[in-house]
Amino acid sequence: MSSFSGIINSYYSIDDIPDNDRIIIINNKQKRNLFKRIILILAISVLCIFMLMIITTTVTITFKKKSINFNYQNSSLTENKIILNISKPLEQNNIASNKTKTILETSTPSKHNNSLNRQLSTNPHYNQNGNIVAGVFSTPNDELNKLQSPASVYLDRERNIYVADTANHRIRKYFPGKSAEGLTLIDKTWNINSPRCLYIDQESNHLFFLDRDNQENYRVQLLKLNSNKLKLTILIIGKQTRSYGMTLDQNLNIYISEFNYHRIVKWLSPNYDRYVIIGENNKKTLSFPRSIYIDEVTNNLYIADRNRIQRWSTNSNESEIVMQGGSLCPNGIEYDSHGNLYISQDKTIKLINNTTDLEGIDIIGIQDYPNMDANFETTANLYTPEGIYLDKTNGDFYVADSDFNRIIKFTIID
């Protein structure tokens, strides 16, 4: 209030008034002052109420946007907290309890092992015939040995293979060397719908994935792998976004592409209650973005939109086109420590490095053939490959061969 009374005084300086009139005028002035003060107080009150309304609305909107839902299926809230505490970001925010710190310090290193990465070839060549590691030849259906339009594949440290069996609305796990024997981790009875974009945090042993709820809202869910009985919805994004891409960085921030809004939204761990928008919200810089990928060494974000890949620095809004070509949007994206970019698009896996042109060269699935022709369903051909996974410990390449309904592994020759 002191600044306001200061203002009042400056409006009504007694020195401005001739001496003779001073007494009477002071009385009038006092009345006027009183009146002005009442008006002022009223004005301030109205202003305050107005501001309060704005704040309330903002908070409500923000809250609606975030829609965090900590409902665990078949578990208690206590377990929910444990899950969030074992993620790394708590340490980053300096709010880690000693218990959390202990878990962090004793946990095995993250999946990223630079020393092994260096053993990868700078110029890799792959066996053109792959091995089917999940799914089988023949018509897709929901039998246990089959897959339908798998969109994503991911490995854990033991090389168990996790598959988003997207059109069957389930996530399956396959054991190394035993392609036929998989098990269903989670399926329709858990209310999941078109899962895709698998990501495993190896340290906490959680699987993140993108799917949709009953109202067709896109959402991110978390599955505790060592129990497979704990599932947590950590983000509900809404149905308008049409989100096809989700990935995480090493601090477990979640990135989601919003196809309809031409942007990527980064949700900040550990609570995912704040977000940052990456890319401008217009079609100039990002145009219907789909798949996204984080290179964990540099923390660069790779974004597939239209028929190209852009590299975005997550610390600035600077972007660069690193791949451009073909008539379709790239699907899967991978990146190795030598700066080789791998993408799946149409019927091949392409490699782009600093000596190839922006279109890259086909390194897997090199034969072109007519669409929808099952005669070409060999282990050397791909049909709409989507998610890809490069095993950075040995160079093996896994492809979710979506329209041939299988996962194929290609081994490196040199």
Q: Please give the residue ranges that form the binding site for ligand NAG (CB under 6 A).
A: 73-74, 81-82, 85, 95, 97-99, 109, 113, 115-116, 122-123, 229, 277, 280, 316-317, 338-339, 351, 353-356, 361
Rank residues 57 and 97 by Cβ distance to ligand NAG and give the closer one. 97
Rank residues 224 and 406 by Cβ distance to ligand NAG and give the closer one. 224
Backbone φ and ψ for 154, nearest 5 degrees, come out as: -150, 150
Distance in Å, CB of 113 to ligand NAG, minimum: 4
Residue appearing with tokens 């490069």? 390
Nearest-angstrom CA–CA distance, 395 and 166: 26
Rank residues 97 and 367 by Cβ distance to ligand NAG and give the closer one. 97
Distance in Å, CB of 219 to ligand NAG, minimum: 19
Distance in Å, CB of 7 to ligand NAG, minimum: 35
Rank residues 46 and 276 by Cβ distance to ligand NAG and give the closer one. 276
Distance in Å, CB of 107 to ligand NAG, minimum: 12
Distance in Å, CB of 370 to ligand NAG, minimum: 27
Distance in Å, CB of 152 to ligand NAG, minimum: 22
Rank residues 151 and 230 by Cβ distance to ligand NAG and give the closer one. 230
Beta bridge partners of 323: 309
DSSP state string for 188-256: GGGT--S-EEEEEETTTTEEEEEEE-TT--EEEEEEETTTS--EEEEEEEESTT----EEE-TT--EEE
- By the 10 Å C-beta count (0-12 exposed, 13-18 middle, 19+ buried), 248 is classed as buried
Rank residues 181 and 280 by Cβ distance to ligand NAG and give the closer one. 280
Nearest-angstrom CA–CA distance, 389 and 306: 22
- How would you label 160-182 residue by residue, b for 16+ Cβ within 10 Å and e otherwise? ebbbbbbbbbbbbbbeeeebeeb
